[in-house]
Amino acid sequence: MRPLNFAVIGINHDHVNGQIGALRRAGATCAGFYAAEDDLAAAFAAKYPEIPRAADVARLYEDPSIQLIVSAAIPADRAAIAIAAMRHGKDVMLDKPGVTSLAQLAEVRAVQAETRRIVSIMYSEHFEVAATVKAGELVAAGAIGEVVNLIGMGPHRLRKPERPSWFFERERYGGVLTDIASHQCEQFLFFAGADDAEILSASVGNRANPDKPGLQDVGDMHLRTAGGVTGYIRVDWFTPDGLPTWGDGRLTIIGTHGTIELRKYLDVAGRPGKDHLFLVDRKGMQHIDCSSVELPYGRQLIADVLDRTETAMPQARCFKAMEIALNAQHLAETGRLPAKDPRETV
């Protein structure tokens, strides 16, 4: 473990707990947090009494001992936090989506290129899921040959009465493909070994929540890389009440010599626990329990901050996954892909 000090700015999403956990498991120390909302701050302080609340966000930006800023603010506010952090010489870990518009992405990219700070978006359905990490090891080792196709499913439980108002405001959460499917876009690029992908189709809809017109409760997209790998992504807010967890997240990877299926959070009516990986190859079929697989993201990001490396995730893939999700969101809503200058789409 290597020492690193970080601070949290914005605690509007519970994903902040996973972000803090990933860094603390790897030896980092949280030096403080800032939240404008007293109710959220009180709940956070009860959970983390050892982390002091800063009365002024500037204190965290200006503290020279803090190397990394972590944020799970309202999605539309995350880009500004990242830019301020970079301008103060700090690296950044954002909850996904790291941005909610192509204009925000362009600005964050520009400041990152100028300052050479790290902007890491924690795509937790990859970095916080042991089965996904193990699948990456197997694919890299050639266990299923060359990857041909991926299918990523990201259902979520809505919990409508518990959600804050911003959750239902399209401009604040970014749309369902920007918000949720950015997870699957990152995984598609990772497993396909690709730098980019063409969006063949995309759609979004509100099928069951007319009382919340800003909510998109379902979305999907179809992707293809220059090398011919194809993928289908579907995300939704339709997890049934009978499921004992928030979502039955799955990923299927088809290769030339085999297949991998991940049942990330449970095996429906099957084996107990989570992190199930099913491998079928030329020798047979097997179930791999991934519960003991290390989650290296926190350790790797700390090393990247200290050593100025790119081991947790290439910066280009971090941004490209968001770009694909944002472009798919635009296509789904307007029927066309955005103009090349992202500022033209605002």
Please, which residues have CB within 8 angstroms of residue 154's CB and are 6 or more apart in sequence? 125, 180, 181, 183, 184, 233, 234, 235, 236, 247, 249
State which residues form the domain around 48.
5-123+296-306
Tell me what pLDDT residue 346 has.
Answer: 34
Is the CB of residue 154 less than 8 Å from the CB of residue 249?
yes
Is 346 inside a domain boundary?
no
Q: Which of 289, 315, 330 is the last residue of a domain?
A: 289
Tell me what pLDDT residue 343 has.
Answer: 44
Domain count, the chain: 2
Q: Are 130 and 267 in a shared domain? A: yes
- For the chain, the first-to-last Cα distance in angstroms comes to 43
Tell me what pLDDT residue 339 has.
Answer: 86
Q: Are 111 and 179 in a shared domain? A: no
Q: Are 241 and 261 in a shared domain? A: yes
Q: Are 145 and 277 in a shared domain? A: yes
Q: Which of 237, 260, 289 is the last residue of a domain?
A: 289
Q: Are 156 and 141 in a shared domain? A: yes
Tell me what pLDDT residue 236 has.
Answer: 99
Q: Are 80 and 208 in a shared domain? A: no
Q: Are 144 and 103 in a shared domain? A: no
Is 331 inside a domain boundary?
no
What is the CATH number for 57? 3.40.50.720
Is 157 inside a domain boundary?
yes
Q: Are 144 and 225 in a shared domain? A: yes
Tell me what pLDDT residue 113 has.
Answer: 99
Is 252 inside a domain boundary?
yes
Please give the full DSSP string across 282-345, using - where no structure is assigned. TTEEEEEE-TT----HHHHHHHHHHHT---S--HHHHHHHHHHHHHHHHHHHHSSPPPSSGGGG
Tell me how far apart the alpha carbons of residues 77 and 10 are, in angstroms, rounded to a whole number. 9
Q: Are 84 and 211 in a shared domain? A: no
The whole model's pTM is what?
Answer: 0.96
Tell me how far apart the alpha carbons of residues 50 and 220 are, in angstroms, rounded to a whole number. 42
Q: Are 166 and 48 in a shared domain? A: no
Tell me what pLDDT residue 1 has.
Answer: 76
Is 34 inside a domain boundary?
yes
Chunked into runs of 10 residues, the chain (346 residues) has average pLDDT values of: 94 98 98 98 99 98 99 99 99 99 99 99 99 99 99 98 98 99 99 99 99 99 99 99 98 99 96 97 97 96 98 99 99 95 43
Q: Are 118 and 39 in a shared domain? A: yes
What is the CATH number for 184? 3.30.360.10
Q: Are 118 and 157 in a shared domain? A: no
Is 166 inside a domain boundary?
yes
CA distances from 2 to 23, 106, 305, 307 (A): 10, 33, 11, 11
